[in-house]
Amino acid sequence: MADEVLPGRACGSCTLCCKILEIEELAKPQGQWCSNCKTGSGCLIYESRPQTCRAFNCGYLVWPLAGEHWLPSRSKMVILSELDGARVAIHVDPGRPGAWREQPYYADIKRWAVQFAQSQMQVVVTIGRRVFVILPHEDVDLGEVADDERIITQQRKAPDGSLILNAVKMKADDPRLAGN
């Protein structure tokens, strides 16, 4: 995802990132409204907001693959680039946990999973700490993923030569992750 805001895109009255995302500098937990947010209006401490907030642009603002329907206040989801661009994460408002399965969002998410599978990029949907890895042919519910766990996408060749993908979670100190 690029860092520059696309022409015609702006936050406007959208403040969903102020609910969905964790902000360590403010001790704001994931999934709860920031006490500095005036819902539908904006940040009450905008001039002195933390660097995390200053540097943040959601995928709707910067990613051409996210159409107008992905405005977070409309979709109830915030798209992020994670792991230095190796993962597209769709963070869902816990107040609307099924939003990601609705159309046209689910079709977009599946299309991204197919598109990114060859480059080994992950597409994940998170609802709080619960994570779904979206693969071209299935969605893998990993349940809650702890801070000390990593999401690994595994691939192997089927007898017919096609690629079979699976996703698992592993402890960060698992020796099988050495060098990855």
Encode pLDDT of 101-150 as tens digits.
Answer: 999 999 999 999 999 887 888 999 999 999 999 999 999 999 999 988 88
- H/E run at residue 105: helix 105-117
What lies within 8 Å, CB to CB, of 62 at 6+ separation is 1, 2, 3, 4, 5, 6, 9
Q: Determine the Cα–Cα distance for residues 121 and 133; give it in Å rounded to an integer.
A: 11
pTM: 0.89
